[in-house]
Structures are given as C-alpha cells and as structure tokens.
Amino acid sequence: MEFVLIFFVLVSIVVFVLGIFFYRRSLKLKKKLEEERKNMQRKMYELAILKELGERIGYSLNVQNIIDIITGSLHQFIEYQVVSYMLLQPEKVIFKIHLEESVSRKFIKDIKTRMLKSLSALLNKEFSESQVEEVLTGAVIIDEIESPVQSFFNIPLVIGEKVVGVLTVAHSNPGLYKEEETTILYKITRQASEAVTRLQDVISNEQKKLSAMVESMSEGVVMTDNDYRILVANPAMKQILHIEKEEITIFDFIDNLEGKFDIRGKLEESVKLDKILPVTEVLLDNRYFHILVSPVKVNSGINKGDIIGGVVIFYDISKEKELEKMREDFTSMMVHELRSPLTGIKGISEVMILENKKKKRAKKDAEYATVLLESSSRMLDLVNDLLDVSKISAGKFEIHKEVLPIKDFLKTNVEILSTLAKENKIDLKVSIAKNVPEKVFLDKNRIGQSLINLLSNAIKFTKEGGSVTVQVMSHNKGESIVKEGQENNFSWFIDKDKEEFTNLSSSLFIAVTDSAFGIAEDDIKNLFNKFKQLEASVRSEHKGTGLGLSIVKGIVEAHDGIVGVFSKEGSGSTFYFAIPFETNVIS
Amino acid sequence: MVKKILIVEDEKLELMALVARFKMENFKVFEASDGEEGLKIALDEHPDFILSDIMMPKVTGIEMITQIRQSGEWGKAVPILMLTGVVEAESISKIVEQGVHDYIIKGAMNMDDVVKKVNDKLSGK
C-alpha cells in the first residue's frame, strides 16, 4: 500500500513538474509569438511609411524639399519634441527647426550648438554662427520650460558619398533613442539619399551629354540663371569674347562686349517678355554675329513653364556677309560696266537724232541712230530691271514714301503711255471711284513704275481697237472687293473674292484691265516668278525681259500690299495691286 | 553770252554723249576724264557750271569739289551737279554736305533731265 502511495505521489510530482514545465514553455512561446507579431506589424508599418515617403519624394531633386518631406513624416514613428536639420549651401548653412512641442530658447540653442559641432566634425571644417540661416516652425517657444535636452540623435545626410547636412531629433525625456529608433532613421535617410544619388547620376549623365554637345558647338552659347549667374559658357563663346579664365561672371561678358551688345539688358527683356529676341549683325573683332536671346523654361513637372534663366547664342555670320558683299559688288560692277556704256550709246544716238532733224544729214545716218537708240534703250531697261530684281531678292529694296495727290499721280503716269496707246490704236481709259482720298502716302517713283509696268504690258498684248482701263478705288477692310467693284460700276475680270482679300487692310486698290487674249490658268502661277519669266522671254515674240511683274510684286510687297491677276481666256485680264492705307492715308 | 560748262566723267562713252549733247545745246564745253584733270581745268577756266561723276581714278569727284569750294569766290559759288551710281541715302547726304546743289542717279539718268536741271539752275529757277 505504502508503495502504491509513494508511486502515486511520485507520478503526481512528475506530472506537476511536467505541467509547470509545459505551461511555462507555452507561455514563453506565446510571448515570443506576440513579439513576432508586433515586430511584423512594425515592419509592415515601416515599409508602408518608407513606401509613402518614397512616393512623396518622387522625382524631386531638391534636397531641401526631400528633407522637409522626411521631417514632416517622422513623428509617425519616432517620438521627439524637436526635429531639425542643417543643410549646407554655398556660403551659408540652412538651419530649419520644427517644434513638435514647446521648448525653451536654451533648448534650441543647445541643439544648434550640437548640430554645428557634428557638422564641423563630419566635414572637418569650422562653421560660424553668422553663416547659419535659421527658420523656426511649429509650437511656440516657452522659456519657462526648463527641461534640458536629454535624448538627442544626430544623423548625417549623405548624397552620393558627400555629406550635405545633418538631421536631428531631440527630447527632454531621457533614454528615448535606442537601436530601434535609430535604425529606422538610418533607413529613411539612406533611402532618400539613395534615391537622390540615383537621380543625380541620371541627371549628371544627361548633363554630360548636353554639355558635350554645347561644348562642341561652333556657335557661342551662354546660359544664365535669373540672377545673371553664368551656368554654361562654351569654348566657342569664350573664344569669341577672348575670355580665358574658368570662372566667369556676367561682368566679363559686359566688359568684353564693349557696349556693342547689351547682354544683360537683352536677357532681362527676353525673360520679362517671355520672348525670343533676335539681334542682327553685331560686329565684334571684324566678325559679324547674329545673336539670339531666349528665356529658358522648365518644360515638365509641377514648375512647368517657369522661367529659370536665359540663353544667348552667337552665330557667326561673317561668311554669309562676305558672300553677300561679293554678290553686291558683282551686281554693282555688272551694272556699272553695262549701264555706263549703254547710257553713253543712248545719249550719243539721241544727239545724232536731234542733230539730224536740224541739219538734215544723210537719211541712212538717221536710221542707224534710231536703231542704236532703240537697242540701247532696251538693254538699259533690262539692266535696270535686273538691278531692281537683285535688290528685291537681296532685301535691299528701299522705298521712299511721300504725300501726294492721287489724281495728279495717276494722270502723270497714264500720260506717259498715252502716245504708245494711240500708236497701237488702243482706247486708254481711267476711272477713279468717289471714295478715293485726295492724298496718299507712297513711293511715287516706285508705285508709278508699277503702274507703268502693268499698263505697258496691257498695251503690248492688246490688239488694235482694243481697250485698256485703269480703275482705282478705296477698299474697306472686310468688304467684298467684287461688291465694291460693282458699286463703282467697274467692269473688270475680278469675279470672286480671293482668300487674301478677306485679310486685306483698308487699301488703295488699283486695277488695270485689258481686252487682250487672256492668260491660261497654268501660266498664271508663273507670272510673278522672275526665273520662269526670264525663261519665257527668251522664247517670246514680245520684247522685254518679263521681269516687270516680279518687280511690281517686289515694290507692292515693300509697301505691305498684295498683287495678283484675274483672267478669262479669250477675253482679257485684270492685273491689280492694293497698297494698305494704314501707313498711307493722310487725314 | 555762251555759258561755259565743265564735264568730268571717266566713262568715255558717257563723257562723249554728255559733251555732244551740251555742245548741241550751245554751251562752251570743257571735258576731263578724272578729278585731277577736272580740278586743273576748273581752276584755270572758272566755268559757269560743273557736271561731275563721283567715282573716278586719281582724284574722286568729292575730293575735287572740296578743293574747288575752297578756292575763293568763284569756287564757293559755282553750281555743281553730281552724277552718282550710288543710291544709298547715306552717300547722297554726304554729297549734299560737300556743297553740291543737286545730284542725278545714273540709273535713272535721262539726257533731257540733265540738260533741264543745268538750264534751270543757270537761269536762276
């Protein structure tokens, strides 16, 4: 019995001990599981926050923006009264401090000293208080709170292996920042740093490509920011202005341009007006430059459209200028060499004809002289036409406007051709609408030349017994020219309003209508083309260079006007030109 | 009284034409084919009118008239008409500054015009 009892006792002890053992084990396990769970939760939370931070940092490249985002999110998982950072800038240190809770001035000063010290240690460089630019946000300072800094954690901000600042959290409670907290801070800053470093790599690669391109450009390129600090100046640019040093400022440009080009003023104007400004023909060191000044804008992201500076490009146009000069010299040489002898021949034959009338020389002489006069006159006209055409195509065509009475002007020019019209038995008529102003403002020689060109063409192509009519009216902007013509009882071939009529300003409208054989649709488009006309004149039975119409076009366009033709095959044509009043009308 | 005119022009044919024409118009004509010769004749003969080209070898038209204008009473007063191939406004103003009373652009030159300009000036119009 006793044995059985002892056995039971022993068994129960074993069971009890085992029970306790298992119980304790399960407790431990439970605790461990609980810890694991918590840990997991924390990790998940961390990850979520890191992810969110990552997204918020996005592609921002502004380090300060990124640090602002980090400090703004930090309180979600670390406890602190104050979060602050110091960021190294050229020639200054930004110190931004955010109070989560009120602290004393002394507390802040303590943090500032500690941070400066660690920044100095990290960079092996002394910083003075005067370099620090302080920004304070968050809760108010209360000097009565006397609790000192008891927990403090400093973490360097590194971008691409370079320390750019420090980030700090601080609290007046002791022992707050242990391994866990510091680890997460490290993680966050490391993530931000990696993101920025990566992006900066991309950017610097792009920048290298871009600067390689800019460097190798033969045009001089200089880019500045909005404070006229030089961001880029390529070798070509430095060579143009003979700048040899590496670090250059806008003043080097201003000095070396010697007042020939106001680079600063033009940059300011371009940025202000948000417009590309071309400056033509600046002479530097015997070389001609065409200079373009343009604002530089951000073309993507939230700052899209912001002007961040300006760029100035110097194009060397010396070669073009040289060619242009050669062409001009050639033209004037040609004209001189051709025109002088022709003028002489023409003059001499005129004298011969005049003398013949007096002295009644041999009839043969008079005949020779007439042939000489006709031929030399024709050649002289050609030379003068060619000179006009070359001036028009070189953009050197000058017009000299003056105020003149329109009726006298028309009469004088029509009269010049009345003899020719009579000889050819052509009825030459003029019709002036009532709405034409008394005086107009135009180049009388050139517009006269245009009218004579059109009239002599019309007379040349019209058969005996036909008619040529000059019709002149005022066109009002927006009105139908067809309708205006009807109101003035004009009979011409203008039967529909062309597109260019709708945009035409109020103008003096001059039309010459003939009763010749008209012009085929296909030929109309080449009428005002000098090359096609020269080609045609070689084969034509009619005298003349055919350059007349392209000269008329040049003259009218120099007056900002339009020129054109309406024609009906077999019936005749109406050539017209319009000179806008805007600059021409005299009230 | 027959009027004396000096014509200075380096282009032979043009000179010939001008001389022939003014002779026909009953002028006593002196001719020169460069500025140096023109200046010499001008100072010797004191013509009533000078008609001159600008671009010429040796002494240019502008140099010639500058010297004529500095040569006393006659030189200050003698009317001068220039023939010019240059149309640019700048050159024209330069010509006028030199004491030229009028100019004719060669491209647009017409003998009748030249004769009319000379006669108008001489008859005081």
Domain boundaries, chain B: 4-122
The CATH number given to whatever domain includes residue A493 is 3.30.565.10
Where is the domain boundary, A202, A236, A252? A202
The least confident of A371-375, A438-442, B30-34 is A371-375
What type of residue is A396?
A: K
A441 and A493 belong to one structural domain: yes
- Cα gap B67→A180, rounded to integer Å: 103
Q: Which of residues 86-115 of B touch A (CB under 8 A)?
A: 87, 89, 106-107, 109, 111
- Domain of residue A100, residue span: 57-202
- Both structure tokens of A10: 């022993």
Q: Is the Cβ–Cβ distance between A586 and A441 less than 8 Å?
A: yes
Which among A345, A355, A387 has the least Cβ separation from residue B24?
Answer: A355
> What mean pLDDT is predicted for residues A350-371?
77
Runs of H (alpha helix) within chain B: 12-24, 35-45, 61-69, 72-77, 89-97, 111-122
Question: Pick the residue with more confidence: B120 or A384?
Answer: B120
- Residue A361 has a pLDDT of 62
* Residue A92 confidence class, pLDDT cut points 50, 70, 90: confident
Structural domain contains residue A13 = no
> Which is it for strands A467-475 and A427-432: parallel, antiparallel or unpaired?
parallel
Distance from CA of A374 to the nearest CA of B (A): 14
- Both structure tokens of A337: 């060499």
Of the CATH numbers 3.40.50.2300, 3.40.50.970, 3.40.50.300, 3.40.50.2000, which one belongs to the domain with range B4-122?
Answer: 3.40.50.2300
- Residue A468 has a pLDDT of 95
Q: Check B17 against A341: CB less than 8 A apart.
A: no
Which residue bears the tokens 């400022």?
A249
A71 and A171 belong to one structural domain: yes
Phi, psi values for residue B88, rounded to 5°: -55, 135
Cα–Cα distances (Å) from A409 to A443, A476, A551, in that order, read: 11, 22, 20
- Cα gap A547→A335, rounded to integer Å: 16
Residues 6 or more apart from B76 whose CB is under 8 A from it?
Answer: B69
Chain B residues with CB under 8 Å of A377 CB are none
A195 and A299 belong to one structural domain: no
Would an 8 Å CB–CB cutoff place B15 in contact with chain A? yes
- 3-state class of A165 per DSSP? strand
Query: How many other CB atoms are found less than 10 A from the CB of residue A199?
Result: 16
Q: Check A350 against B14: CB less than 8 A apart.
A: no
Cross-strand partners of A316? A289
- Cα gap A507→A489, rounded to integer Å: 18
- Residue A586 has a pLDDT of 46
- Kindly state the helix (H) or strand (E) to which residue A336 belongs, with its residue range: helix A318-359
Structural domain contains residue A470 = yes
How would you label B24-33 residue by residue, b for 16+ Cβ within 10 Å and e otherwise? bbebebbbbb
How long a stretch of residues is chain A? Answer: 587
- Residue A534 has a pLDDT of 53
Measured over the CA atoms of residue B52, residue B56, residue B57 and residue B60, the dihedral's sign is positive
Distance from CA of A373 to the nearest CA of B (A): 12
Cross-strand partners of A159? A162
Domain count for chain A, please give it. Answer: 4
C-alpha distance across the termini of chain B, in Å: 18
Q: Which of residues 319-338 of A touch B (CB under 8 A)?
A: 332, 335-336
- Cα gap A268→A49, rounded to integer Å: 45
pLDDT tens digits, one per residue of B32-89? 999 999 999 999 999 999 999 887 878 888 889 889 999 889 998 999 998 876 555 5
> What mean pLDDT is predicted for residues A337-356?
82
- Cα gap A400→A447, rounded to integer Å: 10
- Both structure tokens of A405: 């009475």
Where is the domain boundary, A393, A413, A441? A393
pLDDT tens digits, one per residue of A498-553? 888 988 889 999 999 999 888 888 888 778 876 666 555 544 555 556 778 888 99
Q: Looking at chain B, which residue has its C-alpha nearest residue A388?
A: B107
A534 and A411 belong to one structural domain: yes
Structural domain contains residue A22 = no
Give the closest residue to B25 by CA, choosing from B9, B41, B7, B8. B7
Chain B residues with CB under 8 Å of A346 CB are 17, 111
| Chain A, chain B: beta-carbon pairs less than 8 Å apart | 57
The least confident of A61-70, A207-216, A440-449, B32-41 is A61-70
Measured over the CA atoms of residue A257, residue A263, residue A266 and residue A268, the dihedral's sign is negative
Q: Is the Cβ–Cβ distance between A309 and A231 less than 8 Å?
A: yes
Cross-strand partners of A312? A222, A293
Would an 8 Å CB–CB cutoff place A340 in contact with chain B? yes
A353 and A331 belong to one structural domain: yes
A114 and A193 belong to one structural domain: yes
Structural domain contains residue A548 = yes
Q: Is the Cβ–Cβ distance between B69 and B43 less than 8 Å?
A: no
A88 and A231 belong to one structural domain: no
Structural domain contains residue A585 = no
- Residue A215 has a pLDDT of 83
Would an 8 Å CB–CB cutoff place A376 in contact with chain B? no
| Long-range CB contacts for residues A417-423, cutoff 8 Å, separation at least 24 | A417/A452, A417/A455, A417/A456, A417/A459, A420/A456, A420/A459, A421/A459, A421/A468
Which residue bears the tokens 């050649």?
A379
Cross-strand partners of A417? none
Distance from CA of A346 to the nearest CA of B (A): 8
Distance from CA of A278 to the nearest CA of B (A): 25
A140 and A261 belong to one structural domain: no
- Cα gap A414→A421, rounded to integer Å: 10
- Residue A64 has a pLDDT of 79
Radius of gyration of chain B (CA): 13
Q: Is the Cβ–Cβ distance between A349 and A376 less than 8 Å?
A: yes
Chain A residues with CB under 8 Å of B89 CB are 398
Task: Evaluate if residue A393 carries a pLDDT over 90.
Answer: no
Q: Check A347 against B21: CB less than 8 A apart.
A: yes
> Which is it for strands A162-171 and A82-89: parallel, antiparallel or unpaired?
antiparallel
DSSP notation for A26-88? HHHHHHHHHHHHHHHHHHHHHHHHHHHHHHHHTT---HHHHHHHHHHHGGGTS--SEEEEEEE
CA A576 to chain centre: 37
What type of residue is A335?
A: V
- Residue A400 has a pLDDT of 79
Q: Check A387 against B107: CB less than 8 A apart.
A: yes
Phi, psi values for residue A210, rounded to 5°: -60, -45
- Residue A91 has a pLDDT of 78
- Residue A296 has a pLDDT of 85
A563 and A439 belong to one structural domain: yes
Provide, rounded to the nearest whole percent, the portion of chain B with pLDDT above 90.
39
- Kindly state the helix (H) or strand (E) to which residue A153 belongs, with its residue range: strand A151-159
Where is the domain boundary, A292, A316, A340? A316
- Cα gap A326→A337, rounded to integer Å: 16
Ordered strands of the B49-53 beta sheet: B28-32, B4-8, B49-53, B80-84, B102-105
Chain A residues with CB under 8 Å of B17 CB are 343-348, 350-351
Give the closest residue to A512 by CA, choosing from A389, A423, A437, A410. A410
- Cα gap B101→A392, rounded to integer Å: 30
How would you label B98-119 residue by residue, b for 16+ Cβ within 10 Å and e otherwise? bbbeebbebbebebeebbebbe
Task: Evaluate if residue A587 carries a pLDDT over 50.
Answer: no
Which among A336, A347, A384 has the least Cβ separation from residue B17?
Answer: A347
The CATH number given to whatever domain includes residue A139 is 3.30.450.40
Q: Looking at chain B, which residue has its C-alpha nearest residue A343?
A: B14
pLDDT tens digits, one per residue of A407-429? 989 988 898 888 889 989 999 99
Q: Looking at chain A, which residue has its C-alpha nearest residue B87?
A: A398
Would an 8 Å CB–CB cutoff place A268 in contact with chain B? no
- Kindly state the helix (H) or strand (E) to which residue A551 belongs, with its residue range: helix A548-558
Exposed, middle or buried, A139 (CB in 10 Å: 0-12/13-18/19+)?
Answer: middle
Which residue bears the tokens 């070898």?
B57
Structure ipTM: 0.72
Which among A335, A348, A354 has the least Cβ separation from residue B16?
Answer: A348
Question: Pick the residue with more confidence: A67 or A83?
Answer: A83
- 3-state class of A535 per DSSP? helix
Residues 6 or more apart from A299 whose CB is under 8 A from it?
Answer: none
- Residue B6 has a pLDDT of 96
Distance from CA of B73 to the nearest CA of A (A): 34
C-alpha distance across the termini of chain A, in Å: 146
- Kindly state the helix (H) or strand (E) to which residue A180 belongs, with its residue range: helix A179-216
Task: Evaluate if residue A106 carries a pLDDT over 70.
Answer: yes
Which among B17, B85, B87 has the least Cβ separation from residue A344?
Answer: B17
CA A412 to chain centre: 49
A346 and A293 belong to one structural domain: no
CA A101 to chain centre: 52
Residues 6 or more apart from B97 whose CB is under 8 A from it?
Answer: none
Mean pLDDT of chain A: 83
The least confident of A70-84, A184-198, A261-275 is A184-198
The highest-confidence range among A32-46, A169-183, A353-367, B3-17, by mean pLDDT, is: B3-17
Which residue bears the tokens 């109020």?
A506
Task: Evaluate if residue A47 carries a pLDDT over 70.
Answer: no
- 3-state class of A423 per DSSP? helix
Q: Is the Cβ–Cβ distance between A480 and A497 less than 8 Å?
A: yes
DSSP notation for A350-363? HHHHHHHHHH---H
Q: Is the Cβ–Cβ distance between B38 and B47 less than 8 Å?
A: no
Question: Pick the residue with more confidence: A334 or A579?
Answer: A579
Q: Is the Cβ–Cβ distance between A472 and A433 less than 8 Å?
A: yes
- Residue B12 has a pLDDT of 83
Chain B residues with CB under 8 Å of A343 CB are 11, 13-14, 17, 106, 109
Q: Check B17 against A343: CB less than 8 A apart.
A: yes
Chain A residues with CB under 8 Å of B91 CB are none
Would an 8 Å CB–CB cutoff place A382 in contact with chain B? no
A352 and A407 belong to one structural domain: no
Structural domain contains residue A21 = no
A90 and A225 belong to one structural domain: no
pLDDT tens digits, one per residue of A303-326? 777 888 888 999 988 888 888 878
